[in-house]
Chain A
Amino acid sequence: MLKNSEQDDFQLIKLIAQSRQDAINELYERYKRLVFSVAIAIVGDQGVAEEITLDVFVQVWQKAESYRPELAKVSTWMIAITRNHAIDILRWQRSRPEANSVQWEDRTVQNGPLIHNLEEQIESSLKKERVRKAVAQLPEDQREALALAYFKGYTQSQISELLKQPLGTIKTRIRLGMQKLRKLLEED
């Protein structure tokens, strides 16, 4: 049984590039909840998030040959694919006149029950807790700016308009928030 390490993730990607279905199956088991959780946190809809999850793993299947380990970990790569796909859909929904976009305050799971069996999660609960604690240590205004950028795909100008704060203030919040988060994560 493979351990869930980055090296093993890369081995899986190499096997997927050779059309090994058992490898995509294993990768799916490792990352399905993380991918789905990110997707639903962004789009706020269970069905859409499921389609995004499927699309992400299909993309991994199709693009495994082009994965470059020197640029990003497998998990970072997959999260980036998930987030970009979900935000594209979110922006498309926003652009429609009938769009009913989810407000930031509603960034919680509305249609799906929470998972209780943490042992089955792909990323260890310890790591998640570490990140959550680090984010919790950020000042509220920095945390809010980062969340709007990350989970809603807003640009700094859009966040400035949304929060009715000067653009320079938003830029500072995002820069300081990311720098502090980096420091906190490096300390652990």
Chain B
Amino acid sequence: MEEPHVFDSLPAYALGSLDAPEAKMVAQHLAGCHICRSELQVFQEVAGQIALTAPQAELARDLKPRLMERIHSLNQQARPKPWLTGRLIPIGAMASLLLIGALAISNLVLWQRLDQLDVLAGPLGMRAIALQNTDAAPAASGFVIVSADGEDGVLVVDELPKLDAQREYQLWLVRNGSTTSGAVFSVDESGYRGMRIEAPQSLLTYSSVLVTIEPVGGSVEPYGEHILAGSLFNP
């Protein structure tokens, strides 16, 4: 028997006002129902239009220079560029090229043996850590590669479910029970994505990583469903 549609829940889902258990149930249904996904898109557009009822407010005059300054600063850090056809590994600093090399060498091995990989000592002291999936995405896989000095790291994921326009994946770096965002990302048609980890401090100072589903743009703390997790090499 087919799962019943969730039409009645879609308006509240589009507003993000469903309580967590019901939101999870709807999200699971949406993953396999194009009819409800299509209906949801309509309600998401309706929800977006509610924004137009917000009172119009004036901006501070200096906002645009501040924006361009931030963008200039990002450019100074080198904007991520695609690497490999169809398999994109954005890399920022020159030091990260070392990681690309290691990834290129070990890529096939890793993809074939992810389920057996816990911690792989790579060349130049780099580490590759396989992430464990959860029941929320049993086919998902992923790993993190960290440079020897902990200053650079890459996250590579595969077969993650595609999400609707309201949600994205978020990588969290965990230390002493507190979390720091390391990346917010979406995946391609095959559920693949590779990216540099943006860590405010050396990755050697974190004990584990976590990937969750969060509202588009990311959250300040991990509220959403856990998809992947893995222990780093720190206590």
Contact = CB atoms under 8 A, between A and B. Distances in A.
B50 A59 contact: no
Interface residues of B, number: 52
A72 B71 contact: no
A53 B68 CA distance: 13
- Of A84, A87, A135, the most chain B CB neighbours within 10 A belong to A84
A169 interface: no
A175 B57 contact: no
B60 A46 contact: yes
Contact of A171 (B12, B44, B54): B12
18 contacts: A32-B64, A33-B56, A34-B51, A36-B57, A40-B54, A46-B57, A46-B60, A50-B59, A62-B74, A76-B165, A84-B217, A84-B219, A88-B219, A131-B52, A149-B15, A150-B15, A155-B17, A178-B46
Interface string A109-137: 10011110000010100011001100100
Contact of A135 (B11, B53, B74, B186): B53
Interface of A: 19, 21, 24-25, 28, 32-34, 36-38, 40-41, 46, 49-50, 53-54, 56-59, 61-63, 66, 68, 71-73, 75-77, 79-85, 87-89, 92, 108-109, 112-115, 121, 123, 127-128, 131-132, 135, 146-147, 149-151, 153-157, 159, 171, 174-175, 177-179, 181-182, 185
A177 B17 CA distance: 13
A46 B60 CA distance: 9
Contact of B220 (A28, A49, A92, A179): A92
Contacts of A77: 165, 216
A80 B18 CA distance: 16
Contacts of A131: 49-50, 52-53
